[in-house]
């Protein structure tokens, strides 16, 4: 399976784990989750911000 490189997102201080930055490991988890949501939807475009936000919320919840 070919890996698609997603553009790197800059950390949003209001949406990160509290310190204004995501660790590299967290960012990678977010990227994988967001891509999985995209794949699960059948690779339908137009939901990238929604997928990324959903993935951030999951990673943030895991950090608590």
In which domain, by residue range, is 39 found? 24-63
Residue 30 lies in a domain: yes
Torsion of CA 62, 31, 15, 61, to 10 degrees: -10
pLDDT score of 5:
64
- Residue 63's contacts (CB-CB under 8 Å, 6 or more residues apart) are 17, 26
Residue 36 lies in a domain: yes
Residue 3 lies in a domain: no
Taking the C-alpha atoms of residue 23 and residue 3, their distance in angstroms, rounded to an integer, is: 21
Residue 52 lies in a domain: yes
Residue 57 lies in a domain: yes
Residue 18 lies in a domain: no
Residue 14 lies in a domain: no
Residue 19 lies in a domain: no
Asked whether the beta carbons of 63 and 17 are under 8 A apart, the reply is: yes
Per-residue pLDDT tens for 7-40?
A: 655 544 444 555 558 999 999 999 999 999 999 9
């Amino acid at each position: 399976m070919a890996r698609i490189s997603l553009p790197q997102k800059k950390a949003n201080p209001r949406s990160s784990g509290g310190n204004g930055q995501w660790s590299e490991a967290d960012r990678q988890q977010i990227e994988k989750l967001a891509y999985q949501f995209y794949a699960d939807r059948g690779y339908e475009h137009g939901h990238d911000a929604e997928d990324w936000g959903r993935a951030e919320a999951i990673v943030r919840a895991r950090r608590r």
